[in-house]
């Protein structure tokens, strides 16, 4: 596996028919499922690890975001990646940088509302990575459901001509969606965090038992989340038939979602 740190080397190492998996590193099985899927569907796979400063607000966890590049390198290699692109922030945003990509509608609610500027940062970085790597297909997790929708829209709007592949959420045995941020949780908080997936599963069950009213289902999720004293709800919302939640467990903000349709 080739490890690349500069934009110019990445541009000259590109090849047709590449699969691409953008990440912020501290890889877990969720990321690896995306990498393996890309490896199985493409001639070559590039993974990026870039903790993108522009998508973090000043009061967020950019500086403390978990990092372990050595471990990530060996995990990418084992998963079959051909290229690992790990640029520094200066490489992606050199002095004088002033062009940003933003969406007007899809970013209004949910995480876009709770984290102003977040998706502008995500889209700017992803658009740059798309231009630098020029993949045929790019793989994103359904765990970040609004991000997936936003990236699909941006890709269509800006005619990137890249196939965007949404991949299922990988979970811990107790149901907690895997996330690099789970590393922040104390043992007690880790136990409490299972309330996210449990409350979503509960809504799905109610739906399977005949409840079709999305507001009643969202209320049920809220009530269930409120039974956990360590959980503080940021939002319980929906995008069509997907119920999406963001919940603070202590200072750690976790997200999850479930599709209640067929």
Residue ranges in 10-29 that form contacts with ligand AMP under rule CB under 6 A: 23-24
Site for ligand AMP in 166-205 (CB under 6 A): 167, 169-170, 177-180
In three-state secondary structure terms, 161 is coil
Q: Which of 28, 31, 118, 207 is catalytic?
A: 31
The set of residues, in sequence order, having a beta carbon less than 8 Å from that of 34 and lying 6+ positions away, is 21, 23, 139, 140, 141, 167
Q: Can residue 162 be called a binding residue for ligand AMP (CB under 6 A)?
A: no
Bridge-based pairing of strands 83-85 and 44-49 is parallel
CA 183 – CA 71 distance, rounded (Å): 15
Q: Is 92 in the site for ligand AMP (CB under 6 A)?
A: no
Cα 209 from chain centroid (whole Å): 31
Of 33 and 199, the one with the shorter C-beta distance to ligand AMP is 33
* Residue 54 in contact with ligand AMP, rule: CB under 6 A: no
Q: How far is the CB of 229 from ligand AMP (least distance, A)?
A: 25
| Binding-site size, ligand AMP (CB under 6 A) | 17
Nearest distance from C-beta of residue 187 to ligand AMP, angstroms = 20
What residues are paired with 231 via a beta bridge?
249
Q: In angstroms, rounded to a whole number, what is the distance separating the alpha carbons of residues 170 and 25?
A: 16
Q: Which is nearer to ligand AMP, 112 or 220 (CB)?
A: 112
Name the minimum Å distance from CB 36 to ligand AMP.
11
Q: In whole angstroms, how far apart are CA 58 and each of 25, 54, 78, 111, 116?
A: 20, 10, 35, 16, 11
CA dihedral 40, 43, 49, 53 (to 10 degrees): -110
Annotation says 28 is catalytic = no
Query: In which residue are the tokens 């966890």 written?
Result: 61
CA nearest to 251, candidates 152, 183, 158, 166? 183
H/E run at residue 2: strand 2-4
Site for ligand AMP in 101-140 (CB under 6 A): 140
Question: Does the CA dihedral 20-24-25-26 come out positive or negative?
Answer: negative
Residue 30 as a binder of ligand AMP (CB under 6 A): the answer is yes
Q: Is residue 144 at the binding interface for ligand AMP, with CB under 6 A as the rule?
A: yes
Tell me if 31 contacts ligand AMP by CB under 6 A: yes
Nearer to ligand AMP, 137 or 169 (CB): 169
Give me the least distance between CB of 212 and ligand AMP, in Å please: 28
CB of residue 219 vs ligand AMP: minimum separation in angstroms? 26
- Work out whether 143 is an interface residue with ligand AMP (CB under 6 A): yes
CB of 51 to ligand AMP, least distance (A): 9
Tell me which residues touch ligand AMP (CB under 6 A): 23-24, 30-31, 33-34, 140-141, 143-144, 167, 169-170, 177-180
Catalytic residue annotation: 31
């Amino acid at each position: 596996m080739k490890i690349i740190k500069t934009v110019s080397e990445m541009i000259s190492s590109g090849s047709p028919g590449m699969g691409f998996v953008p990440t912020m590193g501290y890889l877990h099985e969720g990321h690896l499922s995306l990498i393996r899927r890309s490896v199985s569907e493409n001639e070559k796979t590039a993974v990026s690890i870039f903790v993108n400063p522009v998508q973090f607000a000043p009061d967020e966890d950019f500086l403390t975001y978990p990092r372990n590049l050595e471990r990530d390198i060996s995990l990418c290699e084992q998963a079959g990646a051909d290229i690992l692109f790990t640029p520094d922030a200066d490489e992606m945003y050199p002095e004088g940088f002033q062009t940003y990509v933003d969406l007007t509608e899809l970013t209004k609610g949910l995480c876009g509302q709770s984290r102003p500027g977040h998706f502008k940062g995500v889209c700017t970085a992803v658009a740059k990575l798309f231009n630098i790597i020029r993949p045929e297909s790019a793989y994103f997790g359904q765990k970040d459901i609004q991000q997936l929708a936003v990236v699909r829209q941006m890709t269509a709007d800006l005619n990137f001509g890249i196939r965007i592949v949404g991949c299922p959420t990988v979970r811990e045995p107790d149901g907690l969606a895997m996330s690099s941020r789970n590393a922040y949780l104390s043992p007690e908080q880790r136990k409490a965090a299972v309330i996210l997936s449990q409350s979503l599963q509960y809504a799905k069950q109610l739906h399977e038992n005949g409840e079709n009213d999305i507001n009643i289902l969202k209320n049920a999720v809220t009530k269930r989340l409120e039974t956990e004293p360590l959980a503080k709800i940021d939002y319980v919302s929906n995008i069509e038939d997907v119920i999406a939640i963001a919940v603070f467990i202590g200072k750690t903000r976790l997200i999850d979602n479930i599709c209640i349709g067929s």
